[in-house]
Amino acid sequence: MAAAPTETDPFLAACAGQPVRHTPVWFMRQAGRALPEYRALRGDGSILESLTHPELAAEITMQPVRRYGVDAAVVFSDIMAPLWATGVGVDIVPGVGPVVEHPFRSEDDLRRLRPLVAGEDMPWAGETIAMLTEQLKVPVIGFAGGPFTLASYLIEGRPSREHQSTKALMHAEPELWHSLLQRLVDLAVATIEDQVAAGAAAVQIFDSWVGTLSAADYDRFVLPAVTRFFDDTRHLGVPRIHFGVGTGELLHSMASAGAEVLGVDWRVPLPAAAERAPEAGALQGNLDPAVCLAPWPVVAREARRIISERPAGVGHVFNLGHGVLPETDPDTLARLVDLVHEETAG
Amino acid sequence: MAAAPTETDPFLAACAGQPVRHTPVWFMRQAGRALPEYRALRGDGSILESLTHPELAAEITMQPVRRYGVDAAVVFSDIMAPLWATGVGVDIVPGVGPVVEHPFRSEDDLRRLRPLVAGEDMPWAGETIAMLTEQLKVPVIGFAGGPFTLASYLIEGRPSREHQSTKALMHAEPELWHSLLQRLVDLAVATIEDQVAAGAAAVQIFDSWVGTLSAADYDRFVLPAVTRFFDDTRHLGVPRIHFGVGTGELLHSMASAGAEVLGVDWRVPLPAAAERAPEAGALQGNLDPAVCLAPWPVVAREARRIISERPAGVGHVFNLGHGVLPETDPDTLARLVDLVHEETAG
């Protein structure tokens, strides 16, 4: 029998820390309001409702692949979708974000969080991914919300700068907190299993707001749950990307949870990230999305800085440090993909 | 002539990295909505207008000193006050924050930023501090807004999560950006000079939102201006505290700017801060303000963790990692002051 073939898809190879023909690029929120074709197609309707139309969701997912030439397609969805699909009253309010009808307050609210039966509750999610894998040559990335971030939306009822109600509940009622996180991890595991079954070649866990915690609180209140997520999805055999914003002091803990790839925001230089998280086989990031609003020479300079600084011996998936800002000029992102490909071809 | 006496005031001694009889404590935004006596006294009027009444501002400043037994009084003011006093249309909108009538957009807007003549533009500021130094036994801390943070409010026109217009202007028009920052540093220097002349024994520069920048952007776009601020205020001979939120990757640069004390938010453990910023003679922080909403045993545990973890050989001023949250129970803060004093008495 021959040795296992070297992975030749740049995105999957980079996730595995293997040699690549060029550094792969994708952008968080690449399918979205920065694209005129997205705005034209989506109109003003509910985002969550739009997800139930697989052809629409697949088309939106493919728009940035065509436009930018990125190396992976991230499925058009929302981290609140599984909660919504299981009956939690939530809406994505334009200009605000997720707004939860009845914020999570007490033990009683646990009963409102029932397990996800993906094929029944959100059959459209798998159908969208199945369509995409049929039509696309690049890998499709599925995703789910991380437990702290989903808990924060449920508890605060809306986006929050301080996450104070979330932290107050976490500290005052640690058993209730851990029960809540267990349910949210169950939800994430079921979501991801369904996405991989439908053909997703990689997944990302967005624990976007976890960087608001001190390392001591992260280790006590989030790490056990997120470690269970990675334990329970390891058998799926796809690379898992673990991402949050402002996580400079958490990278060591986050990497210990078990992801193959660690997503890093723009605040932490990649060499510092590699030093703090030696377990990470690959890093993803980390151009400041706001830099993409600058004139092209600035974007090019910053992209080159990231490429030249990145540490040896660890895979690299080029991405922004957070989602594409709606004001971004699509041409900038198209040029950025070309620049990364050219600078790293070898 | 005898040797200079060892400073015996705990706050000033800690700022100088000298031995203390107990670790000093104060809280950012200790004078504010968490206190019922503050809400009773302030009512619903404009914060900025209230600053023009020295007796009122002094009384508000003294309320937390009486209630909590803190080791320093931070003058009741607002970082936007000098801009407001020099004619920039700005209001502090309850539940929102600073809202600027005509956001800063171009070269023309520079003309709207005139130099501060503190005794003429805001005579009440000095009068308030003079009253306080007469009536209080603890040092009075003055403060000013840091240049990035003031620039962000001017450019965005209101509080912002992404600071994207600020970064866009910074990258697209670096000369205009540097001119803007020079004016804002001039304003901060004049503010601080006036406060020290009136009796402030220490000052803090709040560059609260600078942690949104990558280290590369900080070094290029903010460090020169803030270094000039510290150069130009060194002759005043008072300790200067340099504070921002989410500055884990900036601490080395921030410390190089020249402050005596580096303020650290709750994300960065104090030993990590000392390692990244060996120039800092003292550190200030860093209990998560949201922890103060938790039951007392949690607050006590976290305060003890910070005290036990702190590095040797560097001064320590105990504080929160950001301002007191309005929902905080004042009794918790009073107990916290007692706990820090008792645990560190020696």
pLDDT digits (tens, 9 = 90+) for B96-133: 999 999 999 999 999 999 999 999 999 999 999 999 99
Residue of A221, A288, A309 for testing the chain B interface, max B β-carbons within 10 Å: A288
* Catalytic residue (choose from B29, B67, B228, B240): B29
8 A C-beta contact, residue B68 and residue B31:
no
Residue B161 within a domain: yes
Nearest CB neighbour to A325, from listed B162, B266, B288: B162
Domain extent for A55? 10-344
Phi, psi of B173 (to 5 degrees): -135, 70
CA distance A74 to B236: 56
Kindly tell me if the per-residue pLDDT of A8 is higher than 60.
yes
Query: Does residue A2 lie in a domain region?
Result: no
Q: Flag whether A3 is in a domain.
A: no
At B7 the pLDDT is: 52
Please check whether residue B183 lies inside any domain of the structure: yes
Within-domain flag for A326: yes
A305 is catalytic: no
Mean pLDDT of chain B: 96
Residue type, A330: P
B5 in a structural domain: no
3-class SS at B98? Answer: strand
User: Does A246 lie at the interface with B, CB-CB under 8 angstroms?
Assistant: yes
Q: Which of residues 180-239 of A touch B (CB under 8 A)?
A: 211-217
- The mean pLDDT of A169-178, rounded to a whole number, is 97
CATH of the domain at A219: 3.20.20.210
Active-site hit among A9, A38, A71, A78: A78
pLDDT digit string (tens) for B187-218? 999 999 999 999 999 999 999 999 999 999 99
Chain position carrying tokens 């803190």: B70
State the nearest Cα–Cα gap between B23 and chain A, in angstroms. Answer: 22
How much is the pTM?
0.95
Question: What letters, b where the CB count within 10 A reaches 16 and e where it falls short, cover A275-301?
Answer: ebbeebbbbbbbbbbbbbbbeeebbbe
Give pLDDT tens digits for B2-31: 444 445 899 999 999 999 999 999 999 999
Our separate counts of H helices and E strands in chain A read 17, 9
Cα B133-B29-B252 angle, rounded to 5 deg: 95
Is the residue at B3 inside a domain? no
Asked if A117 reaches chain B (Cβ–Cβ under 8 Å), the answer is no
Which residues of chain B neighbour A293 with C-beta distances below 8 Å? 164, 167-168, 171
The pLDDT, as a whole number, for residue B8 is 86
**Structure confidence by residue, pLDDT tens digits, B32-54:** 999 999 999 998 889 999 999 99
Give residue-wise pLDDT tens across range A11-23.
Answer: 999 999 999 999 9
Number of domains in chain B: 1
In this structure, is residue A1 part of a structural domain? no
Q: Does the pLDDT value for residue A187 go beyond 70? A: yes
- Digit-coded pLDDT (tens) for B312-336: 999 999 999 999 999 999 999 999 9
CA–CA gap between residue B247 and residue A56 (Å, rounded): 41
In whole angstroms, give the CA distance from residue B342 to residue B335: 10
Kindly name the residue from A9, A29, A207, A310 that is annotated as catalytic.
A29
Contact A204, A160 (CB under 8 A): no
Neighbours of B6 (CB within 10 A): 9
Does residue A3 carry a pLDDT above 80? Answer: no
Regarding an ipTM greater than 0.90, the answer is: yes
pLDDT in tens, B275-308: 999 999 999 999 999 999 999 999 999 999 999 9
